[in-house]
Amino acid sequence: MATAPTISTVLLKPEFSVDMTCEGCSDVVNLELNKVGGADFDIDLPNKKVRINSEHSVNTQLHTLDKTGKAISYLAPK
């Protein structure tokens, strides 16, 4: 009998709201996330969201996004 996957066996991408209004804003987010390394991410500019798959903790990801100077908030893993 198969068991349902648990959080430890499913890779969830933390999702963040980032106050991005233009391509320049998303470029800044892209630059900061690339600096930290070890992260794959998706930037959804129209919905002002960033999803990150990373070896780094959510706190490290928040700290990295904070370096952009944009208003950010942690939404949830997706």
Q: Which pLDDT tens digit goes with each residue over 18-41? A: 999 999 999 999 999 999 888 899
Predicted TM-score (pTM) of the model is 0.79
Q: How confident is the model at residue 8 (pLDDT cuts 50, 70, 90)?
A: very low
DSSP 10-75: S---EEEEE---SHHHHHHHHHHHHHH-SEEEEEETTTTEEEEEESS-HHHHHHHHHTTTS-EEEE
CATH of 14-77, one of 1.10.3720.10, 3.20.20.70, 3.30.70.100, 3.40.50.1010: 3.30.70.100
From residue 20, alpha-carbon distances to 11, 55, 78 in Å are: 26, 24, 20
